[in-house]
Structure 1
Amino acid sequence: MVSSGRPEAVSQNLLTGLSAGLGRHVWRWKSWWRYEPEVFFGFDLVSDQLRWVRLSRKPKGGVLFGLRWELVDFGIHDLAPTPDFDEADKERALIEYLQELIPPGRYPRARFYLSIQGAGVLFRRFSIPVLKKKSEEEQAVLWEARKQTPFPLENAYWTYRTIPRGKENNKKTEVIFLAILRSLLDRQVGLFLQAGAPLAGVTLGGFGFSDVLPAVPREEGEAVGLLEISPKSSYFSLYGKNGLEFFREFSSIGLKPADLEAGALAQFLEPLTAEVLSSLDFYQAQVSGRKVARLFLAGLPSGDVTIPAHFESVLGLKASVLSRVRELSYAVDNAAEFAELYPFFAKALGTALGRDRNPQLLPEALRKTFQLQHQNRLVFRLSLPVLAFAILFQAFHIYKLRSAESAVARLEQELMRLEAVPGFSHAALLEKNILSTQGFLSQFIRYPAVFPWHLKELSNLTPSEVELARATLLPVMFDSVSARQKHGVFDKLELAGSATAPYEETDAIVVEFIRRLEHSPFFGTVKVISKSEEKFGNQKTVGFAFEVGLK
């Protein structure tokens, strides 16, 4: 819904049926049937930068059902102003860059979309009485929004969504309200029009960047204005080095202390702040209804990390490091498991980062604080060093441990064995993995595709076995690993990642990777869930998602 009045024609048309959520691709049957390319631009209002551009189109030889889509990511283009680079120069550079990326007439049937994120997108969440008529509901939303919005709504474009009511709360309607100043949106739309990219739609909100909050005064930009909305759940992206700031942000988004058991949440955050979150700068919570359904933490650990020569020779990792960025991130869909597994994560991540951390269980109250829907699923979004990845893999998949307690015990055993390996210490980490950044917040670490090897055997390898290990390495990178539990045992594994190589070699690498998985003594049938391709000159990246059975 767009505010009344006479907005600038183009922006008004774009915002009709506005959807909130950065990068949320709304495919239409019309687009699929006509095979129309779709181009998505990600723009950060605070730093005034075009962060990413993504083109989705049907490759040659594709079919309608089971269609494979190519994703071509042009990466990040920094347009931040400098003393010798003023506003006019910046706008001109953006227009020229857009014309270079998408030459006029190159994609005559393409649909262009602009995703805007940053603190310039205002977010509010509140409740209104349940009303039957849509017009009455809209008036009630506007009445409440005007009281909470720092600028007149007549000067803004706005939209809102209602959250389905639960049985326990059927007298109130939860509302998520988004607004952006007309001047901000009209300026961005105008720049894209000048570049010859007529926009078919605009999305607001989405994932921000770590420079968003410090750049905007608290009273002027809503920190929680960075979110992705879907009809059933909301992602709130929050920033800050301090875990207690994270707790205060929770309070500010309208989640009442009674809903989250604020005391328990504070107890939960304090040990994490001291032990784990000291180097993390990004926190995200998925809120389903009024309950936290998922927690996501990410950050860039500081300081140089070295790799023992022993592990370098055993695993055959290259000595060169393309990037010094070491992202540490994981997501857990089951808070009860998270509480039990905290010693596991603290120890594994502490070891990986070369830091001493005292493992401790989270407060028992945490189990009651988070009531989750996915009780049998643990999800690890891995940008972890290969050592921590191997420990994760062993503890949960190879040994098929029936409980988190047994996983922690097994982990401690493996760590004790590792610490006995010559050259390994908390200060010397297996971290010579080649890291690359591709596109918008997509960071991967290259892992060796050598699964059947137990960590305890690494120190006992013969020279011929070392050569065999090197021969089994493949240029495969993992973005996420998800394990599914059935009857208390992990029975399936989902792998998402990519392989990059010269054009004619990439498909063969993926085929060989699948073959090795299927011939491993630990894995069963490999099912391809999805597959995509990216082309860069003579290089090709094949993205994949596999479902792998565990024997």
Structure 2
Amino acid sequence: MSIAALFRKKTESTGDTPRDRVSPVAPAITETYIHPRREHFLGRYLAFFLDTDSLQMSAVQHTGKSRRVLNVNKVYIPSDITDKAARQDFLGNEIEKFIGEYRNKGARIVVTLGGNETAFRTFHMPILKKAELDSAVRFEAEKQVPFPLNDSIMDYRRIYKVTGGGKTRYRIALQVATKRTIEENLALFRKRNIVVHQVYHAHDAIGQLLEHLSDFDRNSSYTLLNINRQYSEIAFYRGTSLEFFHVTNTGSSMVQKGSGIQLEYLAETLATEVQTSLDYYSGQYRTPSISKIYLHGDLAYSEEVTALLKTRLRYEFVKFPVEQLLFLQNKSSPYLDTAAVCLTTLASATCNVRLPNLLPATDKAVNLQRKQNFYGRLSLVVITVLLGISWLILRNNLNTIRESTLEVTRQVERFRSSKAYHHYNILKSQIAANRAYLSQAEQSKSYLALNLKELSLLTPKEIRLEQFNFNGHDQGKNMILKGRATSNTIPPEIVLAEYLEDLNASPFYSEATIKNHHKYKIKNGFEIEFSLDLRGTI
């Protein structure tokens, strides 16, 4: 076994540390899955995966919740290309040709990573705010990731909310890749001015395909075996969440065409690796028993390998059922027949959720600026269209108002030329003449009514007025009041005296005096017959 293989076994086969593992069936612990945020994208995804000896490419059209596979292709690097620059040119030309054929405006480019310069870990973290959680995850990553974080790019997502033991925590899925391998992949695109939008970890993207199978169960375990030329990978998932994967340098390149002995040796070696990984996974995670293993990669369609693996292990080996994915629109597409060979890029191209993105921070900032500029221009176009529609509506309303005004004007002109308008003018002239006559015939206002009202308010009930004389030409005392004062309780003289004081206190009268009076005895008291002289001031 090579040193690289030992390194891969040591670093990539450890998905979770023992102290952080929580049994999914422990009665005192509850795990609630945190679904990654969905993205409702209308357009195309083009995904690429650069392997040691091949290039996978997939193009998928997204339409809401449905996806249509446009192309799935795997190009092998010719064995006579040994120079690194020639290899880069070959890969770059294949990428440029594929993008030129399938990219349209708004298409997103995804690069998928794998290999021994990537790492995956899961661990638990307390419930923290975003900034605090970022710092805590980085601190934990420095202890668990097998290469320096300063030379790496990391991202994570929360996959479970774990409650139990009197506390609540997050289960974190961490994805890390070295800057060297990321830059090596991105260089192929930057050289040709192709913008990359996401960089995904291969196993993380493949896990998202599982929930679109008809028999998917989030609490079940799924096993996938990827057989490539130079290596093989076995990955274990609970639901869509990657828990553990193991890489071995056993690949299809060790089999020559038509060599049954080498094919059996490959199957025997793979069976041993698979059983070892299954035993480790079952012992560490205590998951439900596994009965089926999905195959993808170069030998996914080899019936001989599938039959040999079945004879050596008790599990059912089946090709990953790409054609059964629920979101597919074109289930009869000819590209689906070989899609299991390029399952890595197919998973990235069909993914519609936010996964950990290993794109460098500077590229993310540039993409964010482009996105803001795009939405800014889109908003400007929408505003311009709305203003244009508003102007058309306003113009139409103005035209309607003008037509209504013209119609009213025509009706007025027709009315003015009619007999009714002539009679209207005659009536109008007569009404004006009558108003002028009434204005001239109207008598000047008299204040006598005001005086009589004031007298009615001042005169008490014990006094009864019988005569009121007014001489308007007299400048002195111009009023004479005659009446009777009757009272059964108090002397009528007092009633009369108070009445005189009230008259003199009123602004309407002054100089009120008794001209003469006579007192008579009546049945129940006395009565005074009086005559008053006074001057009316108003």
Query: Which TM-score applies when normalising by structure 2?
Result: 0.39
**Higher helix proportion:** 2
Larger CA Rg, structure 1 vs 2: 2
